[in-house]
Amino acid sequence: MKSEIEKERQSEDLMNIEIRFPDGNTKEFPQNVTPLEIAESISSGLARQVITAKVNGAVVDCNFPIRQDAAIELIKFDSDLGKEVYWHSTAHLMAQAVQALFPTVKVTIGPAIENGFYYDFDTDVPFTDTDLEKIEAKMKELAKENLEFTRKELSRNEAMQLFADMGETYKVEILESIPEDDVISIYTQGDFVDLCRGPHIIHTGKIKAIKLLKTSGAYWRGDEKNKMLQRIYGISFPDKKLLRKYLHDLEEAKKRDHRRIGKELDLFSISDAIGAGLVLWHPNGAMMRSIIEQFWKEQHYAYGYKLVNTPHIGKAHLWETSGHLGFYNESMYNPIIVDEQEYYLKPMNCPFHIAIYQSHKRSYRELPIKYAEMGTVYRYEKSGALHGLMRVRGFTQDDAHIICMPEQLDDEVSATLDFSLAMLRAFGFEHFQIYLSTMPEKAVGTPEDWDKASAALRKALEKAEIDYEIDEGGGAFYGPKIDIKIKDALNRSWQCSTIQFDFNLPTRFGMEYIGADNEPHQPYMIHRALLGSLERFFGTLIEYHAGNFPLWLCPVQVKILPISEKFEAYGKTVIARLKKAGIRAEMDISNEKIGYKIREAEMQKIPFMFIVGQQEAESNQVSVRRHTKGTLGAFSVDHMIDEILSEIAAKK
């Protein structure tokens, strides 16, 4: 590519062009200058760091020739886009290494993902751990060769002939689905050729640290009717220190895995006998769920919500009116025939809340109306997408719909945002990522409605004095929204709260209220989920706290540990006093030694352990041990009740 550009420069009488930088500054460069050359003109350090670039908003390779005045943004690895391009390039490098070691293997697709990349291969023999070690070593060898990523554009027929001659049938199939007039590009590094839109890093030498993580099976194009392929996952970084940190965090994430902790603490299970993606809440988990729901109810009443309950199924006509059967059918289960009519398991609660609103005429004096429900919904997820509590097929959503007049919008959005953050903080979450998603190209509702709703969301965020990012065009087709994600100790983000406008359903269902002018008006409606799916929230809660839950949430807050059987009677009197005070307590009546009982209580992550023996019984005290902190000393039962109740009240 460089030589072609140089020839072009030599053969033409080139003029200067103006390049505008993100800070507004401009500078002249020769026509056909590349992003890499622009970076080099600033500093050699920047040139080493640049991964890709945006030229007039389009993402391009670093050796892309810029032929006219343009705005440029140089992208480094520390950005999401930089990581995406870097990891996509590493996926190509992995495919090259695989075919070098296993020449009969066919390649399919290899995208970047949230953390790293994968590539799917057609091979009759699954890859082993030893194979991964060999592939990783080959990747490192190829990286050191500084193989340049070179882009070439072809016609669709030329590309199909190329990959047919190579025996790459999957690439041919992909090309068959691309319109004939689309631009087709291939990328080459060394002797490896791949069908790809790009962009890519400048050369393989940019890839400094690589780790292949695991393999799994994956159906071609995600269709269970197609052939099972072999998928290899990996991660890469421009610095070995970053890889070491990532692998450390990965090990820590395994320790926090909600599926492992859920089993250890006997919180929940998913049984094949019941069905994939359907959660069984065990007593400990059900206790925590009950505590969460009770707190949720109390807070909603305090914030002026009216709680409702709705059925699990509804007539087909309901879902036709809402648009779900037209737009969401693939995520809905097959209909149930009742009295020769079709009913569907509900995928959402919205139409039911609207039906309650429309059960009689509404006056402007009644608004805002705020309905909330812990409503169980059912959505079809492919088996390969299911993941513990995070992706399930039946879940309970903490749904609410705020129905208000336009002039009430600002106050309601602000109150909803405050409520969302207060709820999340009560569960120990402290660090948030907040996004405001605006109007996409295809949308319902007038531009004026979108502007008003977006302004209300923005005003609420600014009033709360919290940082947020704008996701331009990222709103749903039916309205703008605020997404609140929490960040954990490993800097991972978890989706929780959503505040979503809806200009679609009020129109579809003909929602009205009678205004002060005695005329009908269409209200605004805001969908709102504070916790989101209760199952996913519970999984997030487990991983965020690594099972060390705030005291108020723990299913067992105190464990009484008698030194021997003869002190169980005193232990029972302590339990009675704790329970009378509203503290959840149990006693270990096993025949094990006290050291074993302590270890078991620590493994179960019980916040307080009260050890009772002769001395404690005679002094009417307990020897207190705190989980992860060790022995605190001997205290009266009354003192400990006061301490525990104080901590519970503070939601610590």
Mutual angle of helices 169-176 and 156-166, in 10-degree steps:
160
Domain 551-649 part of CATH 3.30.70.2390: no
Mapping DSSP onto H, E and C, the string for 187-207 reads EEECCEEEECCCCCCCEHHHC
Q: Which whole number is the average pLDDT over 375-392?
A: 89
Q: Which whole number is the average pLDDT over 57-85?
A: 96
Q: Which whole number is the average pLDDT over 584-593?
A: 95
pTM of the model: 0.81
**In this structure, what is the dihedral angle of CA atoms 256, 261, 265, 267, given to the nearest 10 degrees?**
110
pLDDT-above-70 percentage for the chain: 98
The Cα 207–Cα 143 span in angstroms is 6
Alpha carbon separation from 320 to 56, 157, 225, 316, 332 (Å, rounded) = 42, 43, 29, 6, 12
Cα 146 from chain centre: 35
pLDDT, averaged across the chain: 92
Q: Is 100 exposed, middle or buried (0-12, 13-18, 19+ CB in 10 A)?
A: middle
Class of domain 2-76: alpha beta
489 has pLDDT over 80: no
Residue 236 · residue 86 · CB < 8 Å: yes
**Which SS3 state, helix, strand or coil, does residue 335 take?**
coil
Strands 524-533 and 493-502: antiparallel
Nearest C-alpha neighbor of 269 from the set 260, 261, 277, 279: 279
Q: Which whole number is the average pLDDT over 632-638?
A: 96
651 has pLDDT over 90: no
Is the omega angle on the peptide bond into residue 607 within 30 degrees of 0, that is, cis? Answer: no
Residue 13 pLDDT class (50, 70, 90 cuts): low
Report the pLDDT value the prediction gives residue 442, as an integer from 0 to 100: 80
607 has pLDDT over 70: yes
pLDDT-above-90 percentage for the chain: 79
More confident residue, 562 or 470: 562
Amino acid at 215: T
Report the pLDDT value the prediction gives residue 428, as an integer from 0 to 100: 87
Sign of CA dihedral 143, 147, 153, 154: negative
Q: Which whole number is the average pLDDT over 558-581?
A: 96
Neighbours of 415 (CB within 10 A): 16
Report the pLDDT value the prediction gives residue 225, as an integer from 0 to 100: 87
4 has pLDDT over 80: no
Report the pLDDT value the prediction gives residue 37, as an integer from 0 to 100: 96
Write out the two tokens for 208: 């400094």
Q: Which whole number is the average pLDDT over 92-119?
A: 96
411 has pLDDT over 50: yes
Is the omega angle on the peptide bond into residue 506 within 30 degrees of 0, that is, cis? Answer: no
Q: Which whole number is the average pLDDT over 331-357?
A: 93
10 has pLDDT over 70: no
Any idea which residues carry the catalytic annotation? Answer: 350, 379, 397, 399, 401, 481, 527
Question: What are the domain boundaries of the chain?
Answer: 2-76, 81-254, 281-310+349-545, 313-347, 551-649
The Cα 310–Cα 348 span in angstroms is 11
5 has pLDDT over 80: no
Q: Which whole number is the average pLDDT over 169-194?
A: 93
Report the pLDDT value the prediction gives residue 610, as an integer from 0 to 100: 97
Residue 503 pLDDT class (50, 70, 90 cuts): confident
Q: Can you name the CATH fold of 81-254?
A: Threonyl-tRNA Synthetase; Chain A, domain 2 (3.30.980)
3 has pLDDT over 50: no
- What is the per-residue DSSP string for 360-386? S--BGGG-SEEEEEEEEEE----GGG-
Domains 2-76 and 281-310+349-545 are alike in CATH topology: no
7 has pLDDT over 60: no
| CATH architecture, range 281-310+349-545 | 2-Layer Sandwich (3.30)
Residue 17 · residue 68 · CB < 8 Å: yes
CA contacts within 13 A on the Cβ side of 179: 3
Lookup result for tokens 């990222």: 474
Q: Which whole number is the average pLDDT over 569-576?
A: 96
- What is the per-residue DSSP string for 75-132? EETTSHHHHHHHHHHHHHHHHHHHHHH-TTPEE----EETTEEEEEEE-SSPPPHHHH
The Cα 82–Cα 201 span in angstroms is 9
**Which SS3 state, helix, strand or coil, does residue 503 take?**
coil
pLDDT tens-digit profile of 231-277?
Answer: 999 999 999 999 999 999 999 989 999 999 999 999 999 999 999 99
pLDDT tens-digit profile of 444-487?
Answer: 778 888 888 888 899 999 988 888 888 888 887 888 899 998 88
